[in-house]
Amino acid sequence: MKIAILPGDGIGKEIVAEAVLVLSALDLSFETETALVGGAAFEAHGHPLPETTLALAKSADAILFGAVGDWKYDTLERPLRPEQAILGLRKHLGLFANFRPAICYEQLVDASSLKPELIAGLDILIIRELTGDIYFGQPRGRRTAVDGHFPGSEEAFDTMRYSRPEVERIAHVAFQAARKRSKRVTSVDKSNVLETFQFWRDVVTEVGGQYPDVALDHMYVDNAAMQLVRAPKKFDVVVTGNMFGDILSDEAAMLTGSIGMLPSASLNAAGQGLYEPSHGSAPDIAGKGIANPLATILSAAMMLRFSLNQAQAADRIEAAVRSVLSQGLRTADIHSPGTTLVGTRAMGQAVVKALGK
């Protein structure tokens, strides 16, 4: 097993270091190789996704990714900005299926801005299509070259499109995931207004015919945004396009209290995956040793389960995370009165210690 470690920028380095310590404590045999990505790679090699980093990512069984980006790169032309590294990895590796579980740990019920009864026991899975939709539409190249503007023109536009194979494959992923859970899929679209999403709805319905044991319903995205805060536990697996998924998965993340708790997996057809926390590089707290490493540690657990066939080891990590929360340990983002405030390193070490129990 070979794992590419790409810590990236900001808190990326701090949180990935803790996840690597946790992986090392598991007594599994795997090889790791670390490379620069994002702003760190731009500084060293003049590009956010250097050829060597891409080659390492392609050759690995799985990638553990921290986060990229810093406001200081906002004036760079778009293809050189750190965020292009993650888009490039998704594109080059064909990572079309993004899994974002939103789980509310019972110990953190009070950290959510919603009433405890609405989110206690919450366990939903948002599956976002990651390589199509408006983010990969036609004018992308032209717009990129001139930094968001068409000089001398009075308008800008982006093209929303999906092809049948793109919708079919993400629908299959969702139905198969639902089979391992409570056998319900909600497909989120905007078919009342957009042709692209009428097509999406038709294709998802067709694919659903192959999964008679899974219940499928459809919901417009505006209603889904509302229902996620009104009655989130009514959802189980949610499947949606790239842009709607981007927005809804961040909304779902906050239901659980902190984005610092939420892992994600992005998979390709071969099961190779990139695993990263749902949050960004948090430049506001970088270097202070206070970032929550649990989303990254839980991403490492997803990596063991989805790409490395080590489900038991993944269970052990998840149990260890529950254990440290039960001990009352909290980083600043999830801290509340009566709990013990710890930093990034102490939280990582506590998870390692809990693994041994």
Under the binding rule (CB under 6 A), the answer on residue 83 touching ligand NAD is: yes
Q: What is the CA radius of gyration of the chain?
A: 20
Closer to ligand NAD by Cβ: residue 133 or 276: 276
Residue tagged active-site, from 13, 183, 233, 246: 246
Out of 70, 133, 166, 318, which residue is the one contacting ligand NAD (CB under 6 A)? 70
Which is the catalytic residue, given 73, 190, 211, 275?
A: 190
Nearer to ligand NAD, 68 or 221 (CB): 68
Tell me whether residue 115 is one of the annotated catalytic residues: no
- Alpha-carbon separation of residue 327 from 125, 332, 339 (angstroms): 27, 15, 9
Structure tokens at 137: 């539409």
Q: Indicate whether 329 belongs to the interface with ligand NAD (CB under 6 A).
A: no
* The one among 20, 291, 304, 351 contacting ligand NAD by CB under 6 A: 291
Piece in contact with ligand NAD (CB under 6 A), picked from 111-119, 154-162, 198-206, 287-295: 287-295
| DSSP letters spanning 307-324 | TS--HHHHHHHHHHHHHH
Q: Residue 87 corresponds to which tokens in the numbers above?
A: 């888009």
Binding string, 245-284, against ligand NAD, x = CB under 6 A?
Answer: --------------xx---------------x--xxxxxx
Q: Is 202 a catalytic residue?
A: no
d(Cα 9, Cα 283) in Å, to the nearest integer?
8
Compute the least distance from the CB of residue 250 to ligand NAD, in Å: 9
Can you tell me the distance from the alpha carbon of 236 to that of 47, in angstroms, rounded to the nearest whole number? 40
DSSP 44-66: HHSSSS-HHHHHHHHHSSEEEEE
The secondary structure of residue 3, as a DSSP letter, is: E
Tell me which residue of 266, 262, 175, 241 sits closest to 214, measured CA to CA. 175
135 belongs to the catalytic site: yes
For ligand NAD, the closer CB: 108 or 214: 108
Place of tokens 């539409």: 137
Structure tokens at 163: 């092809």
Shortest CB 126 distance to ligand NAD, Å: 15
The 3-state DSSP class for residue 187 equals strand
By CB under 6 A, the count of residues binding ligand NAD is 22
Give yes or no for residue 292 binding ligand NAD (CB under 6 A): yes
Mind telling me the catalytic residues?
A: 135, 190, 222, 246, 250
Residues that bind ligand NAD (CB under 6 A): 11, 15, 67-70, 83, 86, 259-260, 276, 279-285, 291-292, 295, 333
